[in-house]
């Protein structure tokens, strides 16, 4: 439970936090693409309502299928982001617990160490045994 374990736990926490940030960026980009595909599908729906052409309806269905695929990938990246956040928090908590255990171990070693006897001054011992006139 030394400094290496605390450092390793903190490194894992930082890596997991970085991974969560990367997953967030990817999920946000995919969601933006999904919003664009939704706007495109809505425009195709408006065009279909005006023309009543079957090819426009087929294009709209393909657009919605592509949007569904994109949003499924975005959901996968969001799961990765949540897993990264959870890993980062648990690793940081583990680092703190390891730090506390290290401090406790050091305190226990200090408490268990034998006390060194204090140097005795022979003159002080002789004075302590000399009878005083008040006795």
Question: 35-78: per-residue pLDDT in tens?
Answer: 999 999 888 888 888 888 778 888 888 999 999 999 999 999 99
pLDDT at 51: 81
The Cα-based distances of 102 to 2, 9, 11, 126 in angstroms read 6, 14, 18, 46
CA angle 7-9-11, nearest 5°?
Answer: 70
Residues with Cβ within 8 Å of 41's Cβ and at least 6 positions away in sequence, in order, are 60, 63, 64, 67
Lowest mean pLDDT among 78-82, 97-101, 115-119: 115-119
Q: How far apart are the first and last CA of the chain?
A: 59
pLDDT at 24: 96
Confirm whether pTM is higher than 0.85. Answer: no
At 125, is the pLDDT very low, low, confident or very high (cuts 50, 70, 90)? low
pLDDT at 44: 86
Say how far residue 57 (Cα) sits from the centre of its chain. 46
Give me the mean pLDDT over the 14-41 stretch: 94
Give CA–CA dist 129/132, Å, rounded: 9
pLDDT at 8: 93
pLDDT at 53: 78
What is residue 117's DSSP assignment?
P
Backbone angles phi, psi at 23, to 5 degrees: -60, -35
Q: Is 122 exposed, middle or buried (0-12, 13-18, 19+ CB in 10 A)?
A: exposed
pLDDT at 110: 84
Give CA–CA dist 63/37, Å, rounded: 6
pLDDT at 135: 54
pLDDT at 116 over 70: no
């Amino acid at each position: 439970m030394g400094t290496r374990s605390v450092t390793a736990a903190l490194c894992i926490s930082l890596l997991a936090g970085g991974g969560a940030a990367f997953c967030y960026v990817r999920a946000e980009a995919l969601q933006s693409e999904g919003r664009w595909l939704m706007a495109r599908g809505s425009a195709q729906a408006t065009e279909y309502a005006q023309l009543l052409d079957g090819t426009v309806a087929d294009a709209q269905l393909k657009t919605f299928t592509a949007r569904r695929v994109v949003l499924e990938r975005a959901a996968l990246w969001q799961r990765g982001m949540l897993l990264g956040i959870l890993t980062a928090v648990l690793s940081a908590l583990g680092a703190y617990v390891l730090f506390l255990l290290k401090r406790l171990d050091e305190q226990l070693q200090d408490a268990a160490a034998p006390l060194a006897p204090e140097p005795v001054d022979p003159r002080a011992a002789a004075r302590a045994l000399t009878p005083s006139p008040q006795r």
